[in-house]
Amino acid sequence: MLLQTIFYVAIAAEAMTAALAAGRRKMDWFGVCVLACVTALGGGTMRDTVLGHYPLTWVEDPYLLLICCAAALITIGLARFMEHLRWPFLLLDALGLVVFTILGCDVALEMGQSPIIVIVAGMITGIAGGIMRDVLCNDVPLVFSSELYATVSIVTGVIYFFGLQFGFPGEAVIIAAALIGFALRVAAIVWKLEMPKFVYDKELR
């Protein structure tokens, strides 16, 4: 299945960008591998923990851990060539975001969850790994203040859920949700589309 292939590619891409983040914190090879695994698999882990959906994806399929570690170590070896790969990484990351979202919605759908939870499960799958990466790197999570990212996940999830709900064929819905989500993310990067910020600097008294 195409979705599954893209899933593996996206896992590896997430692991590689996480490895670069680890390098900025001067982590050792072990830290690089852990950060790669947490970033790439943390979203699915949080979704499954929150839904009580055991066994977790990577516990059932531990080769995912090896893929993450391999991608992370390859990144260390090829770091000098990475500089000019911003766009390939951004595109793979965008693809990963929509694929993670759709697979996350699927898990919740199979459990018979309510619509809100299906969409939230997709969003957690798409964004929680990056939040964990930022917490472990001691940053305020990027996803809370940068270009549209979580919004892309929510839009993808909404299209996917209601597309299925309205009885369109599964593959068409997947393709539509993925394409629209992907396009929205690319547009957000190109035109720097952001949610409005909330800036508050007073103390309550």
Residues 159-178 interacting with its own copies (rule: CB under 8 A): none
Residues 118-147 interacting with its own copies (rule: CB under 8 A): 120, 131, 135-141, 143-145
Residue 117's contacts (CB-CB under 8 Å, 6 or more residues apart) are: 51, 108
Q: Is 96 helix (H, G, I), strand (E, B) or coil?
A: helix
Tell me, residue by residue from 3 to 22, as one string, x for binding to its own copies by CB under 8 A and - for no binding.
----------------xx-x
Binding range to its own copies, per CB under 8 A, among 5-13, 158-166, 182-190, 192-200: 192-200
| By CB under 8 A, residue 199 contacts its own copies | yes
Shortest Å distance, C-beta 3 to its own copies: 24
Residue 101: CB atoms within 10 A of its CB come to 31
| By CB under 8 A, residue 113 contacts its own copies | yes
Q: Which of 5, 8, 29, 168 binds its own copies (CB under 8 A)?
A: 29
Binding range to its own copies, per CB under 8 A, among 74-82, 99-107, 162-170, 175-183: 74-82
Residue 89: CB atoms within 10 A of its CB come to 15
190 contacts 90 by C-beta, under 8 angstroms: no
| By CB under 8 A, residue 151 contacts its own copies | yes
Buried b (16+ CB within 10 A) or exposed e, 115-148: eebbbbbbbbbbbbbbbbbbebbeeebbbeeebb
